[in-house]
Amino acid sequence: MKQEKHYIQRVLSGDVNAYSYLVDMHKSMVYTIALRMVKNPETAEELAQDVFVKAFQSLKSFKFESKFSTWLYRITYNAVISSLRKKRLETADIDNAQLPEAEVMDTYNALTELKNNEQRIYIKQAIEQLKEEDAIMITLYYLDENSVEEIGAITGFTISNVKVKLHRARKRFYEALKLILKDEVKMIL
């Protein structure tokens, strides 16, 4: 964090090359967010590059009030939403997002029976099947370990809305993963 601040200040004082450090540090997560939402590697890479150029252009407006990553992911989220033609994301309906622990345990156990590379393939498939909003919630919360408040700052949703969306996304992820694993078992049999 301190080192990151140092590099930001170097960029602001005219050392443009110092920006490559910030790009290297955050490119994977920015690309992951873009890919999870647009679901196309080429488009995601283009978008991610645009995000870093935009972030560079508005770096002066970054006031160190939040983490640099939070600020960057907000730009990413807005850029992706904008590229999806500002498609209005469905509002959170407080549907039955309850997920029994037993169900999670069953899926978890079934998954751990598989080889590591197989696990990764099925998890990736399950994430790819999610809607962009569900995918971004799962990615920000479980992969990059952002807090609910930070996700709220990135996406512009209220904290309670983030919680609801997160629960729903998690439930959909398990539904997708269960289905994939079930198909896999059928194929083996």
Partner 1 sequence: MSKEEKNIDRYTREIIQKNGKEKPSGRFTNNVMAQIMKEPSLEFNFSFTKDEKENKTWLFLSVAAMFIGYLFFGLLKNDFNLVKSFEHSFSVKYLNVFIDFFAQIYYELSLSPYVLLGLAGVIVLIIIDKSVVKFLHSL
> Could you list the residues that contact partner 1 (CB under 8 A)?
14, 16-17, 19-20, 23-24, 27-29, 31-32, 35, 44-45, 48-49, 52-53, 56-57, 99, 101, 104-105, 107-108, 111, 116, 119-120, 123-124, 127, 138-139, 142-145, 170, 173-174, 177
- 135 Cβ neighbours under 8 A, 6+ residues apart: 36, 37, 127, 128, 169
CB of 88 to partner 1, least distance (A): 26
Q: Which is nearer to partner 1, 107 or 155 (CB)?
A: 107
Cα–Cα distance, 91 to 133 (Å, whole number): 10
CB of 17 to partner 1, least distance (A): 8
CA atoms within 13 A on the CB side of 108: 6
Q: Which is nearer to partner 1, 8 or 29 (CB)?
A: 29
Q: Which is nearer to partner 1, 143 or 185 (CB)?
A: 143
Q: Which is nearer to partner 1, 155 or 171 (CB)?
A: 171
Cα–Cα distance, 59 to 4 (Å, whole number): 13
The string of DSSP codes covering 43-59 is HHHHHHHHHHHHHHHTG
